[in-house]
Amino acid sequence: MTRLSILQYPDERLHTVAQPVQQINQDIRRLVADMAQTMYAVDGIGLAATQVNVHLRIILVDISEKQNQLLVLINPTVIKMGGSAEFEEGCLSVPDVYETVKRAAWIRVRGLDLSGKTIEIQADGLKAMCIQHEMDHLQGMVFVEHLSPLNQRRILSRAQSTKSHRTPIR
């Protein structure tokens, strides 16, 4: 397995709309394993393929404390959602930024698992938020885009100044 690089906001590649996975083969299974290793290595609870610069409709979610309940959704589709809840969100592509985002309180999603079997899950709370957050990535959207224009400019300015102060690796 390989630890993958995570794109950092405001990288334009984060705004690429992901394409459906046509076939679940060894390459897709290897990608999912690498994504899981990457997510767990940085204590993430969710990761979309878009974030590792692979523009396919794949998301991973694991909100368990022991990091042992990995949910893999390939070509996920929202079937139903309802209610309203506010969550404080962060993102591996927007390090050290946490903001309150309003989302559906519960969600029902259908997708494929790694064996190609159709699965349907209903989630609420943190899991629902995480699935919605990762599915946004598949649409080329970063969570900060749910915020006010003022907050978006503040976060963008901070991200750009952080990027300009990084020492290049030689």
Domain ranges in the chain?
A: 12-164
The rounded distance, in Å, linking the Cα atoms of 147 and 138 is 18
The predicted structure's pLDDT at residue 131: 98
pLDDT tens track for 79-138 = 999 999 999 999 999 999 999 999 999 999 999 999 999 999 999 999 999 999 999 999
Q: Is 140 exposed, middle or buried (0-12, 13-18, 19+ CB in 10 A)?
A: middle
The predicted structure's pLDDT at residue 163: 66
CATH class of segment(s) 12-164: alpha beta
The rounded distance, in Å, linking the Cα atoms of 39 and 60 is 9
* Other Cβ atoms within 10 Å of 96 Cβ, number: 8
Q: Considering 12, 65, 99, 134, which one is annotated as catalytic?
A: 134
89 catalytic per annotation = no
Assess contact for 6 and 92: CB atoms under 8 A. Answer: yes
pLDDT tens track for 136-152 = 999 999 999 999 999 99
Contacts of 102 (CB under 8 A, 6+ apart): 84, 85, 86, 146
Q: At residue 166, does pLDDT exceed 80?
A: no
Confidence of residue 1 (pLDDT cuts 50, 70, 90): confident
Query: How large is the average pLDDT for residues 49-73?
Result: 98
Mean pLDDT, the chain, as a whole number? 94
Q: At residue 56, does pLDDT exceed 50?
A: yes
